[in-house]
Amino acid sequence: KKVALVENRTPKRYPFVNFLNHRAKKRILVTGGAGFVGSHLVDKLMMAGHEVTVVDNFFTGSKRNVEQWIGHENFELIHQDIVTPLFVEVDEIYHLASPASPPHYMFNSVKTIKTNTIGTINMLGLAKRVGAKILIASTSEVYGDPEVHPQPETYWGHVNPIGPRACYDEGKRVAETLSYAYAKQDKVSVRVARIFNTYGPRMHVDDGRVVSNFILQALRNETLTVYGRGNQTRSFQYVSDLVEGLVSLMASNFTQPVNLGNPVEYTISEFAAIIRTIVGNNNPIKSIDATEDDPQRRKPDISRAKLHLKWTPKVPLREGLIRTIAYFRGVLEKTKLSQSV
């Protein structure tokens, strides 16, 4: 009887994968590939026909984000912490492993520093040994609470080195410094993406960031919580635009840092009103205590990406939010179903 069951099992159906000949096919490592951005990048690389290895410790990521590829002959998932050395043979490395939302990176600040420093040294050491190109996921947080607006890559930033955000901001600044030290000293081929606020499906539902908080609050008919007066600004990029930018940056010959973000800027109060309108509820919006060291203005200058990568973000906020809200609705439905079982 057991044998019959195995024989009857329908084979898993994977998303369409392009055929690449031996020379075009690359072996690509994605650290943090089970996370929000990483898993979208993995989809793109897998569908292009590459061999993809993900290394992730599942701190903020989950197997579910990459379940569509598990078992595929081009895909491998390694459960490991990048703070410990990793030995694989690859042609390219996208180094994304690091918690990204303030509550997640502050949860264990020492670990966040280790991931971004020791973890990055390990990935640069790996790139050096195998001669791989490596792209580091840096952040707009390297500009801190900026005194220059919008922020070009030439701006050195305004970061409090001992504040609550420092474990992440300074961790990423060291990751950048390490990248250029390895490039200079060991001729490692590096790319540095300074990523601005990004949103989309597979974001953590409870990561405490503004997009997920406001969407959840609106869907649950709760009050939208604006931290402080709500006149601080952010510029929001849809995840597919970011993934296009990362792949273009890796393929380019440009080795200086590049901002990847959507330059359309909103105040947080405006953003709350937009989400409330799209969800279609008329929830109250309330101002609560501001958080410490919260950057007051943020908007990327993307001239470099336009010039060197021929890249600009394409998805308008409203369209991206509609897709993201649909995803969150689905997650809430599933949670309700599982609770009622």
Please tell me whether residue 15 binds ligand UDP under the rule CB under 6 A.
Answer: no
Please tell me whether residue 133 binds ligand UDP under the rule CB under 6 A.
Answer: no
Q: Give the single-character DSSP code of 14.
A: P
| Residues β-bridged to residue 30 | 54, 94
**Residue with smaller CB distance to ligand NAD, 82 or 188:** 82
Whole-angstrom distance, CA of residue 326 vs CA of residue 21: 37
Binding-site size for ligand UDP (CB under 6 A) equals 23
Q: How far is CA 272 from CA 121, 234, 292, in A?
A: 39, 12, 20
Among 28, 30, 34, 113, binds ligand NAD (CB under 6 A): 34
**x/- map, 102-131, ligand NAD, by CB under 6 A:** -------------x---x------------
Please name which of 199, 182, 98, 188 lies closest in space to residue 139, comparing C-alpha atoms.
Answer: 98
Please tell me whether residue 240 binds ligand UDP under the rule CB under 6 A.
Answer: no
Q: Which residues within the stretch 66-95 sit at the binding site for ligand UDP (CB under 6 A)?
A: 85-87
Please tell me whether residue 56 binds ligand NAD under the rule CB under 6 A.
Answer: yes
Contact between 80 and 49 (Cβ < 8 Å): no
The SS3 of residue 84 is coil
278 C-beta neighbours (distance < 10 Å), count: 16
DSSP string, 279-339: HT----EEEEPPPTT--S---B--HHIIIII-------HHHHHHHHHHHHHHHHHHHHHHH
Please tell me whether residue 188 binds ligand NAD under the rule CB under 6 A.
Answer: no
The SS3 of residue 226 is strand
Chain residue whose CB lies nearest ligand UDP: 125
Tell me how far the alpha carbon of residue 33 is from its chain's centroid: 9
Please tell me whether residue 61 binds ligand NAD under the rule CB under 6 A.
Answer: yes
**φ and ψ of 241, to 5 deg:** -65, -45
Whole-angstrom distance, CA of residue 15 vs CA of residue 79: 23
Stretch that binds ligand NAD, among 10-18, 81-89, 247-255, 305-313 (CB under 6 A): 81-89
Q: Which residues within the stretch 83-102 sit at the binding site for ligand NAD (CB under 6 A)?
A: 83, 96-100
Q: Which does 86 bind (CB under 5 to 8 A by kind): ligand UDP, ligand NAD, none?
A: ligand UDP
Please tell me whether residue 197 binds ligand UDP under the rule CB under 6 A.
Answer: yes
**Residue with smaller CB distance to ligand UDP, 143 or 311:** 143
**Residue with smaller CB distance to ligand NAD, 51 or 56:** 56
**φ and ψ of 256, to 5 deg:** -80, 165
Please tell me whether residue 213 binds ligand UDP under the rule CB under 6 A.
Answer: yes
To the query of whether residue 168 is one of the catalytic residues in this protein, the response is: yes
Radius of gyration of the chain (CA): 20
Active-site option among 168, 182, 199, 238? 168
Q: Which does 175 bind (CB under 5 to 8 A by kind): ligand NAD, ligand UDP, none?
A: none
Shortest spacing between CB 209 and ligand UDP, in angstroms: 3
Q: Which amino acid is at 157?
A: G
**Residue with smaller CB distance to ligand NAD, 59 or 328:** 59
Shortest spacing between CB 199 and ligand UDP, in angstroms: 9
Among 28, 30, 37, 123, binds ligand NAD (CB under 6 A): 37
Whole-angstrom distance, CA of residue 261 vs CA of residue 239: 10
Please tell me whether residue 268 binds ligand UDP under the rule CB under 6 A.
Answer: yes
Task: Please provide the size of the chain in residues.
Answer: 341
Name 76's Cβ contacts closer than 8 Å, sequence gap at least 6: 51, 52, 53, 54
Q: Which residues within the stretch 197-226 sit at the binding site for ligand NAD (CB under 6 A)?
A: 197-198
What is the contact surface with ligand UDP in residues (CB under 6 A)? 85-87, 101-102, 121-122, 125-126, 128-129, 197, 209-210, 213, 225-227, 232, 234, 268, 291, 294
Which residues are annotated as catalytic?
Answer: 168
